[in-house]
Amino acid sequence: MNLSVGCTLAYDVLTPTANFTFNILANRDPHQHLGDEIIRLAPEVPLERTATSKGNRVFRVEAATGAFTVDYQATVEVNRPGAPDEVKADNPGRLPLATLTYILPSRYCESDRFTQPAWDLFGRIPNRVEQVREICRWVEANLAYTRGATDSRTSAWDVWQLRKGVCRDHAHLAIALCRSLSIPARYVGGYALGLEPMDFHACFEAYLGGQWYLFDPTDGIAPDRIVVIARGRDAANCALTTIFGRVNAGALTVRCTEIPPAG
């Protein structure tokens, strides 16, 4: 599927200068091919492109006092398959070391606290793919989507007790439950087709049968309708912006539309 994605971010810089790192660029991977890409800054300032330790594409700028706006637009061809009905079971003790880190507890996904609840709910399902799908169904059925009930400090354990949150919280809980069952899982942030209201979206990937597959526990959006921006152990690795300096955030607009086939 061909998608047009983008966003507009507005700020008011209050200090003489402020430094920004933006993590809003469409990623590159075997299932996601980047076409045209435009970054507009107002006022124009030098831009430095780089990458995070997790391979996420980011850019850095320094802006002076006053209004500052970032506008991003890209076209992306997404051919990301969904998970098959069944895969060969992975041996957790023989996972690639780069993957093993996604079984361990992290800042927002305290998987060590979910061992018993995860086993009670999902541990007796023999099919690993079905385990992950059942986790997604459980999260969607038992967590209310509620804005304002959680914040940047809310972890998976908090969400488990609150039974409410936004897509970021739903993803964190699903990741923690997967890891408790020795299924590697990582946080994914991106653009998603069909969100209402439109916003940045959070979901996750699970490592099954030697391959990563994308799952959306909040809205059930298909993998080929999601453009990945960032991957990490949890949201701490995937912040959309990192700012040094006093800044007031203004309007935020996110766009994701399908590009009709030619002809």
Mean pLDDT of 6-10: 98
Question: Of 217, 141, 162, nearest to 185 (Cα)?
Answer: 217
Taking residues 117-125, what's their average pLDDT?
96
Q: Tokens for 258?
A: 């399908």
State the pTM of this model: 0.96
Single-letter code of the amino acid located at 114? F
In this prediction, residue 263 carries a pLDDT of 64
Section 101-115 average pLDDT: 97
Return mean pLDDT, the chain: 96
- The pLDDT of residue 57 is 96
Q: Residue 204: what pLDDT?
A: 98
Q: Which CATH code is given to the segment(s) 92-237?
A: 3.10.620.30
> Quick one: fold of 2-78+240-258?
Immunoglobulin-like (2.60.40)
pLDDT at 93: 86
Question: How far out from the chain centre does Cα 3 lie?
Answer: 17
pLDDT at 261: 83
pLDDT of residue 155: 98
Cα 240–Cα 246–Cα 248 angle in degrees, nearest 5: 65
Which pLDDT tens digit goes with each residue over 200-247?
Answer: 999 999 999 999 999 999 999 999 999 999 999 999 999 999 999 999
pLDDT confidence of residue 129: 97
**Segment 143-188, tens digit of pLDDT:** 999 999 999 999 999 999 999 999 999 999 999 999 999 999 999 9
The full set of domain ranges for the chain reads 2-78+240-258, 92-237
Q: Does residue 125 carry a pLDDT above 80?
A: yes
Contact 106, 154 (CB under 8 A): no
Q: What is the rounded distance in angstroms from the CA atom of residue 260 to the CA atom of residue 175?
A: 34
Structure token digits, residue 175: 């990741």
